[in-house]
Amino acid sequence: MGRQDVNRSGDMEVFARVVEHGGFSAAARALHMTPSAVSKLIARLEARLGARLFNRSTRRLQLTPEGTAFHERAVRVLADIEAAEREAAAGAVPRGLLRVNASVPIGSCYLLPVIPAFLARYPEIRLDLTLTDTVVDLLAQRADVAVRAGPLRDSRLVARKLGESRLHVVASPDYLARNGPLRTPADLIHHNVMAFNFDRQVQGWPFLDGAGGITHYPQIGNMVVSDGEIMRKLAVEGLGLARHSRYHVDEDLRAGRLVTVLDDYNPGDLEPVHAVYVGQGGHLPARVRAFLDFLVANVHLP
C-alpha cells in the first residue's frame, strides 16, 4: 500500500476504539463497521508497523508492550487532532475575547451606543474596551482593534475608514458674553485657548490668512487637559475655547451649549476616523472581522 493511501489517523481511531471497548465486535458496533473489517484494518496496521499490537486469545485481547506504547501515542495524537479541529471550527464563529481601544470622544459618542447591539448579535464575544486619548501600541498592548482619529502613522497597521468630520473652534455663549466676540484669529491672543497635554502632530490651530494660505496660531491659555471629552466639558462650562471634530460637539451645538466661532477663517480641514488593526499577511479572527464590519455599518460621523 502506498504511503499516500494510508489513513493513519483513521487507523489510530479504530485501534483506540478496539482498546477502549476491549474487542473487535464492540469497537465495530461503536464505529458502525463489521467485525471483519475492524480485524482486517488492525492486521494491516500491524503489518505496516512491523509489530504485533495485540496478543489474541479466544476470550480477550491483550496489548503487547509495543501495543501499549502505540496506544499511548495514538490517544495523544487523536486528542490533538480533535482540539485542532475544534479551534478551527470555533474560528468560523465570532467568539472569544475582543480587546478594543478607542479615544474617549469616539468611544463615548459612537462606540458605547452601538456596543449593546453588537454584543446582542454576537453573544459569544467578550469585550475588553479601553477608552483613552493616548495612542497605544496595538502589539504591545495586545489590542485587537483601535479606533483612532487623525492621520495614521503606524505602517504596521491596516485601517478601515469609518468616516471623517470637520473641525470647529467652539465656545459657550456664556464664555463669549464674558470675554467678548472673536472677529479674526488675531483676537485669540485675548482669549483662553485650551490645549492638550500630550504630543500632537500639528501644534497650534490653523486658520485661513486671507491670502490663500494657512497660518497656525499657538494655543495659549491656563488649562491643558488629557483628553477631548474633558476639554469639551470645560468648554461647555465656559472655561475657554476648544477645537473639536463636529462629531464630538454636535449635540452641544444643536442644544446651544456651544457655538462655533471664526467660521469665516475655518480652513475646512477634516479629521478622519479609522478602525486600525494588525492584519497584514494573515487571516483575521472571526471576532475581529465581525467587529470591523459592524463598525463600518453602524458608525456614522456628522
- How big is the CA angle at 251 (ends 250 and 256), to the nearest 5 degrees? 100
Are 210 and 236 a contacting pair, CB within 8 Å? no
Are 252 and 232 a contacting pair, CB within 8 Å? yes
Residue 107 burial by Cβ neighbours in a 10 Å radius (0-12, 13-18, 19+): buried
**For residue 163, what are the CA distances in angstroms to 1, 150, 156, 268?**
61, 11, 21, 15
Contacts of 161 (CB under 8 A, 6+ apart): 272, 273, 274
Decide: helix, strand or coil at residue 188: helix
How many secondary structure helices (H) and strands (E) does the chain include?
A: 11, 13
Interatomic CA distance for residues 191 and 239, integer angstroms: 10
* pLDDT at site 227: 79
* pLDDT at site 51: 92
What is the residue whose three cell numbers read 500500500?
A: 1
Interatomic CA distance for residues 56 and 42, integer angstroms: 12
What is the residue whose three cell numbers read 483601535?
A: 146
Are 243 and 169 a contacting pair, CB within 8 Å? yes
Residues 250-280 as b/e (b if ≥16 CB within 10 A, e otherwise) read bebbeeebbbebbeebbeeeebbbbbbbbbe
* pLDDT at site 2: 43
Interatomic CA distance for residues 246 and 302, integer angstroms: 6
User: Which amino acid makes up residue 96?
Assistant: G
* pLDDT at site 200: 57
Are 69 and 104 a contacting pair, CB within 8 Å? no
* pLDDT at site 219: 82
DSSP string across 51-108 = S--EEE-SS-EEE-HHHHHHHHHHHHHHHHHHHHHHHHHHHTS--EEEEEEE-HHHII
Are 301 and 114 a contacting pair, CB within 8 Å? no
Element (H, E) at 224: strand 224-225
* pLDDT at site 156: 64
Q: Catalogue all structural domains in the chain, each as residue range(s) with its CATH number.
A: 8-88 (1.10.10.10), 96-164+272-298 (3.40.190.10), 165-269 (3.40.190.10)
Q: Comparing C-alpha atoms, which of 118, 137, 138 is closest to residue 126?
A: 118
Quick one: cell of 17? 476504539
Element (H, E) at 248: helix 246-255
Element (H, E) at 208: strand 205-208
* pLDDT at site 4: 47
> How confident is the prediction along the chain (302 residues), in pLDDT tens digits per residue?
444 456 888 899 999 999 988 889 899 998 889 999 999 999 999 999 999 999 887 677 889 999 999 998 888 888 777 766 666 655 567 888 999 988 888 888 888 999 999 999 999 999 999 887 766 665 556 678 988 887 776 556 788 888 888 999 999 999 999 999 899 999 999 999 998 886 655 568 899 987 878 888 888 889 888 778 889 999 999 999 999 989 889 999 999 999 999 999 999 888 888 888 876 545 678 888 899 999 989 988 77
How is residue 241 annotated by DSSP? Answer: B
